Structure formats: C-alpha cells, structure tokens
Amino acid sequence: RNVTKTTASRSHLNKTKDAERPTKTMKTYTLPSGSKMPALALGTWKAATGLVGDAVKEALKLGYRHIDCADIYDNEEEVGKALRECFDDGVLKREDLFLTSKLWCSNYAPELVRPALEKQLKRLNVEYLDLYLMHWPVVKTPEGGFLSLEELPLSKTFEAMKECMDAGLVKNIGVSNFTTKKIRDIIDETGITPAVNQVERHPYLQQPELLEFCEKNGVHMTAYSPLGSGDPEILEDKTIGEIAKKHDASPAQVLLSWAMTMGSVAAKSTNPDRLAQNLAAADITLDEDDLEKIKEMDKHQRYLDGAFWVKEGSPYTMENLWDGE
C-alpha cells in the first residue's frame, strides 16, 4: 500500500493553538487503481438534514478532500447541492475530490445495482464516484424482506458493481462491515479484490486480525465511528487523555490520529470548529510508546454490532454476520 502526502490547508489543532502549529500535509493512500484516497474523510452519517450541506461546504473550504456518503443516510441530495456550489464557486474541481458512497442492501440484486447508483450520482450532482461500497453483508428485498446469502450471494452484487466500474460510473469498488471470511469469499468467487473495507474501528475495537488480512490482500481499511459512535467512554479514557495532554491535543484528535496511522478514517461533524480540529489531527504524530499504550486498550467492543439485522424472519444471526470474528 502506497502512502503519500498532498497539501491541504488547515486552520488549527485547537482554538488556543492557532499560530503555534506549522501546517503539514494530508496523508493519502494509493488504491490499486492508482486513485489517491485522503486519509481523513468528512462522514455524513447522522448528519442532520439542513446542517449537512453547510458542513460539506465548510469542510471543503477548510481543506477536506474526501467526503463519505451513503444512500441510506438520506441526505445525499443536500450533499450534492453543496458539492455543486463548491464546484461552481471554484472552491475545488471535481477531480480534486475523493467521493465515497454506499449501495444499500435492498438494491443488491444485480439488475438493481446500476439504477441505484445512477440515482445516487444524480442526487450527488456528479458523473462518477471515486469509491462505491456494499454497505452491509446483508441482502434485503426492495419490499423490505430478507434474502439469505445462499439465495443471493454477495459476489453477484459485487460483479454488478464491477460492471459499473467498467462503465466509468465508479473508479473503485469495495465493501463495508465485511469479515475476513466474507472478503475471502468475494475474492474467491469473483476474482476481484475489494479496494476498501470500511468497518467500525477505534481503540476498543482494533480488529488486528482483520487489519492484517486486509494488508496482506491489498484491501485498504477505513475506520468509521472512530470516537465511539456517540458514547463518551473512549473520549474520556484515561490513556487517551494522557496521550492528548502529552501532544497538546484533544482526545478526539488523538483518536483520529491513531486511526490515520493504520488507514483512513471517516469522522462526522457539522460544527465548524470541530471540523477544523478534526482536520488538524493529521498534524499529530503518535510515537511507539503511544501506540503501545493504545494497543492495550482493545476489548473487542462493538458499538454498531448489527443486532438490528437479527429479527423474526431474518436469516441473519450475530454468528453468521460476524463469522465469529
């Protein structure tokens, strides 16, 4: 995996340290296609309608160059309007932005994949996505029912996504919330390696085996919920607090910096100051001592455990969702 640096403007590490930090550059990861993926993405999950558009515009003006979206977030139209304004106003060009979105589980039937993608492109006001992910390893019907992975293998959906890539509608395809077993199945059944696996990842859920598998197989790993998905426990953890104090940074910045040492990360905020602080986390370099202390925090704690897929009439269980991982 190739890591390079590209210049991005940044405001500050925190409100009190504006002028004391030299501006560094945003790390980028080079995907097998050659696409350069900025290590920090603005996440749009749970970003409220009416706020997300302004957050996107502010983020792009600050220097963010990666936006993470999804069909199911139900805010792509507002994101698209913000993108169009920024393109039209000369804030950036389309080719300077890395745009990720996700295919929802009710559109996994191969014949539904391209129409779903085309609707998303229209909403987002772009002609292509830089990365398109299968959102969960779960198959739903458009009517709201479930299909098992035997009835509709995930590989069939992935092959349909590859056709969209061949048509120039997306530059890279990948997965989200996939285990090592499910990624291996995709590779074995299609001969195509997902470019990215986006998963929950933070010091309480470090997933070293999954990370090692992805690195060995050329799959880039992106972390979501890096701050614990709204639970203040990680942000208030004593170890993180001590490391933050050492680096004159906030706990959130330490968590984001840690995530960026292993791959990329999607972090949501609609607050302008927080957006700048999150972007400035790229300026923090954790040392080996910091990384060793954080390594000891792992307790395999999922905040988004997928329990909402386990219900009456569903073929999905916690066991077959996570494959014991």
- Residues recognised as catalytic: 73
Query: Across the chain, which distance is largest between two alpha carbons, in Å?
Result: 59
Return the structure tokens found at 284. 């923090």
Distance CA 201, CA 227 (A): 9
Task: Please choose, from the candidates 184, 186, 152, the residue with its C-alpha nearest in 3D space to the C-alpha of residue 315.
Answer: 152
d(CA 126, CA 137): 26
- Decide: residue 181, CB within 10 A, 0-12 exposed, 13-18 middle, 19+ buried: middle
Beta-bridge partners for 103: 134
Six-digit token string for 9? 């403007």
- Pairing, β 66-68 against β 40-43: parallel
Place of tokens 């790390």: 27
Q: Say if residues 133 and 103 touch (Cβ distance below 8 Å).
A: yes
